[in-house]
Amino acid sequence: MECQSRITNWGSDDCLTSTDELTAFVKSLIPRGAYTGREVRGKVRQPFVAEVQAQRVDSTYRPVGPTFSAVTRDISVGGIGLIAPVLVDTPLLIVRIDHPTGLAKCLLMEVRRCRPFRKFFEVGGPFVTDIS
């Protein structure tokens, strides 16, 4: 899947830039059960495991390198945690999530951490909705 010149869309999928739409989409992905892990975030995270496609994006909203597959670890309406096979050394990342209903959405995240995790990388950060 190729990125366009700017991240407002990825192939035929538009990135969610509305906080309300992003919140509704993420809430529809996670089960109603409570997360039992240690929680220090303002938004409650939920375990969520799914294969996703990702595209590194630079600070000028341009794609960097090829897309890659990753696996989600957890998600909240505020952000997402992933396990990636590659180092994510860009400030932004587009994550394409396929909803179980068949709907796919692209979410833009700010990369706040990328650290080694066994032979992979743990990547995490908040979603970005303001791309002005």
For residue range 47-89, what is the model confidence (pLDDT) as tens digits? 888 899 999 999 998 999 999 999 999 988 899 999 999 999 9
Q: Is the dihedral of CA 23, 49, 93, 16 positive or negative?
A: negative
Asked if residues 88 and 51 have their Cβ atoms less than 8 Å apart, the reply is: no
Architecture of domain 9-29+44-126: Beta Barrel (2.40)
Separation of first and last alpha carbons in the chain: 25
pLDDT at 6: 45
Is 28 a residue whose pLDDT tops 70? Answer: yes
Name the token pair of 43.
């938004």
Residues with Cβ within 8 Å of residue 29, at least 6 apart in sequence: 48, 50, 75, 97, 99, 100
Region 89-116 average pLDDT: 92
Q: pLDDT digits over 115-128, tens only?
A: 999 899 999 999 99
Alpha carbons 83 and 51: distance in angstroms, whole number: 10
